[in-house]
Structure 1
């Protein structure tokens, strides 16, 4: 009877990259920035607010309605932002 010798499985380099970093890298590849996101919604006039608050796409994805309200984004634009973010999910 022949004995089978198996080689140890190779680890994927991608699997070793923390999810947060991998997520950020993939978003950058797509070229999505807060500025481009807001521009696509016709809300580019709020870009300066997000820049002043140092909000990037990673942070924007986790912002609540209250967070947006706290930085001075009016109700209509807040709703547009949340609808667009939900559509991306």
Structure 2
């Protein structure tokens, strides 16, 4: 599954001629999971680090940089003016 997801991400970046793929730093994400028992189990067992490594490997083979950012406030920034909503 991580191979398919990482390939789709890198293919989309390549399609739009992106120079950088930005991903969240997912450190400690398992401590914040509190959904249904089934969804918690799926997310807890998902290989986040493996997905990151696959994205980095595939992106670098296409000369696309990968940057990791902390997730705080990322969904509150307007992509047009870079101001907070």
TM-score normalised by L of structure 2: 0.24
Structure with the larger strand share: 2
Question: Which has the higher Rg, Structure 1 or Structure 2?
Answer: 1
| Higher RCO, 1 vs 2 (CA within 8 Å, ≥6 residues apart) | 2
